[in-house]
Chain A
């Protein structure tokens, strides 16, 4: 009957796929390139956060190899790097399956990525199980690093505990000093984390928290929130939100002519600027790194970004992703061999260089990355703090005051 036909077809298909194995490089050989496996969320809901990263990754490998590759002591030579890239389609179960494939079928040497907490939650278990060191990229939820895994690191930038460190430092040095602050937070673990940490810390420097509102990512109407803010008249309005989700908020703030000494946005990006234009003139924000600021590997990164047409201001998550590649490269160099255990040891509590400064991992694999404070002046983002790397003078009060 159709039954038998179907059963036969089904079983053959499954077994056929199971047995099919493509050719794979040998781990630890000195004649093969260093293979890094990763997935990108190129389609699906998370793809809205970045464009052109696949090309950027390929160009990164090209540029590194052009500059000689990675020196591997045990091999007495430099080895090129190579990436195997899949699209996880923003689905965690797919990502898990693809990381299994990277390890067991493509037989990559090490793993980098993925991005985003939904995917970064399940994936480390795969790396841990196979004992493959993984340096995740934009996975910022600290609890993901607290599960006792030994093979997992990440380079989210900036990290929640250090996100606005420089900004609040700057606030100690401005005149007139702000006294009150109002938090507006998007319902998102990273942004909530930022608000939780920093609403506590600001009390220590004498800023009074006069209000804290949360909004959902798809919210379109903010009149209620803004009415509350208006009645409080805070000195600082601190918006902790992804750029896209805050567009309606920003526009409505301008329409309702909400004023303050400064309005600070945790994700002041080019994308936001393009969408709201002059509404954010004078606002302050954070940027992990700014093209043009010199640092370790900044030449390499500048070239990669230029060739792949990715602007850091537009896609502020980019440096975190590139940092995961940089860290892994340096770890292999430090370990002196394409050996997973040696690389793991090199990564443990290691210090690594990046254009935005050194990355230091704690025992959980969580980094210490901070960010520069920027301000939007005349439509351009400039670094205003710390003073020694600032590209322009801070304008204070930042926005036209009440």
Chain B
């Protein structure tokens, strides 16, 4: 039975890595730029669909990523600059409302255009990387690769945010924009860059996701909700925290399936979120008030 437990544990960790990956870009855009982006998951799903089509056209996943990441980067930057940035100048209430409407509108547009142009049926990139076998325990290579990629990405971004001038400037700008500008920080450019960067990571996440699971244009919002759950659990602005939270969530779901009932596994994330929010209303953010 210990093997079953181990297998479920490993499976959960892998799944969690994927969850963290999905939450990743949102960690940046929400955690750093404080934009509530409802279209996050849909962007991931749409890029996934495009990736699968490029695969059918004959490109291999590496090339696909190399093409899609800059495109997403440009899209993210343009999206922020033209649509979201001007809202920042409005009163807080209007800024929030405007962001909600803009991102909901983007969600509808993205899923519909994709559905009409590429079809709505699920697509993926079939891969056969095989597995590692440790005794009786199976570790799929693809998912291990995803976990490692997510961990590396998290570490990289975390270092950028804490050790480089760029990273400090971004954090300064989101905490106190005017003061940062007075110190010579070009805040508009920085926020645009961050959002663009966030979109770029969504592209990486999308390619990795679609190598494992199928995507369709309408699954995005469900992913967005899960991503929000993870960044809350991990602490807003805390990227390594989001990785840990994602993994914990994956394991929790697996354990629920093993010891209780697989039907309830998807509910675990929500229940955990609600419990944690009630017990610790300010979340786990390391930021001080």
Where the two chains meet, the residues of A that have a C-beta atom closer than 8 Å to any C-beta of B are 42-45, 47-52, 187, 213-216, 218-225, 227, 231, 244, 247-248, 251-252, 255-257, 271, 274-278, 314-315
* Residue of A44, A47, A52, A225 ringed by the most chain B CB atoms within 10 A: A47
A-binding segment of B6-14, B29-37, B91-99, B184-192: B6-14
Q: Does B257 contact A (CB under 8 A)?
A: yes
Q: Report how far A214 CA is from B124 CA in the complex, Å.
A: 24
How many residue pairs between the two chains, A and B, have CB atoms under 8 Å in the bound complex? 111
Which of under 10, 10 to 19, 20 to 34, or 35 or more describes the interface residues of B? 35 or more
Question: When the two chains form their complex, are residues B126 and A274 in contact, meaning their CB atoms are under 8 A apart?
Answer: yes
| B254 and A51 contact, CB distance less than 8 A | no
Q: Is chain B's interface secondary structure helix, strand, loop, or mixed overall?
A: helix
Given A44-B218, A222-B11, 11 other A-B residues pairs in contact with their CB atoms under 8 A: A42-B115, A43-B111, A43-B120, A51-B121, A215-B263, A220-B15, A221-B254, A221-B265, A223-B12, A224-B11, A275-B123
In the assembled complex, how far is the CB of residue B3 from the closest CB belonging to chain A, in whole angstroms?
8
The reply to whether B122 and A275 contact each other, CB–CB distance below 8 Å, is yes
> Contact: A219 with B265, CB < 8 Å?
yes
Residues of A within 8 A of B8 (CB): 223-224, 227
The residues of A that contact B58 with a CB separation of less than 8 Å are none
Q: How far is the CA of A276 from the CA of B125 in the complex (A)?
A: 9
Which residues of B in the span 191-216 have a Cβ within 8 Å of any Cβ on A? Answer: 212-214, 216
A-B CB proximity, top 4 nearest: A223-B11, A224-B257, A47-B120, A224-B258
Q: How far is the CA of A385 from the CA of B190 in the complex (A)?
A: 65
Residues of B within 8 A of A (CB): 3-4, 7-8, 10-12, 14-15, 18, 111-112, 115, 119-124, 126, 128, 131, 138, 140, 212-214, 216-218, 222, 250, 253-254, 257-258, 262-263, 265-266
Give bound CA distance, A223 to B217, whole Å.
27
* Of the residues B111, B128, B216, B253, contact of A221 by C-beta under 8 Å: B253
Cross-interface CB contact of B120 among A51, A231, A314, cutoff 8 Å? A51
Q: Compute how far the CA of A251 lies from the CA of B142 in the bound complex, rounded to whole angstroms.
A: 11
Question: What residues of A have a CB within 8 angstroms of the CB of B119 in the complex?
Answer: 51-52
B254 to chain A, nearest CB (A): 5
Minimal beta-carbon separation of B183 from chain A (angstroms) = 45
Bound: A187/B263 CA distance, A: 8
B218 adjacent to A47 (CB under 8 Å): yes
Q: Which residue of A lies closest to B111 (CB)?
A: A43
In the complex, the chain A residue whose C-beta lies closest to that of B255 is A224
Of A51, A214, A248, the contact of B262 (CB 8 Å cutoff): A214
Report Cα–Cα, A187/B265, bound state, in Å.
13
How far does the Cβ of B54 sit from chain A's closest Cβ, in whole Å? Answer: 15
**28 A-B residue contacts at CB 8 Å?**
A42-B115, A42-B120, A43-B120, A47-B218, A48-B120, A48-B122, A48-B218, A215-B263, A220-B18, A221-B11, A221-B14, A221-B15, A221-B253, A222-B262, A223-B8, A223-B10, A223-B11, A223-B254, A224-B8, A224-B257, A225-B257, A227-B258, A244-B121, A251-B140, A275-B214, A276-B126, A277-B128, A314-B121
Contact B262 A215 (CB under 8 A): yes
Q: Contact check, B263 vs A216: say whether CB atoms are below 8 A apart.
A: yes
Most chain A CB within a 10 A radius of its CB, from B213, B257, B258? B257
**B140 lies within 8 A of A50 (CB):** no
Q: What is the distance, in angstroms, from A376's C-beta to the closest C-beta of chain B?
A: 14
Given A43-B112, A215-B263, also A221-B7 (CB < 8 A): no
Contact B138 A225, beta carbon cutoff 8 Å: no
A227 to B253, CA, bound (A): 15
Chain A residues with CB under 8 Å of B213's CB are 220, 247-248
B265 surroundings in chain A (CB, below 8 A): 216, 219, 221
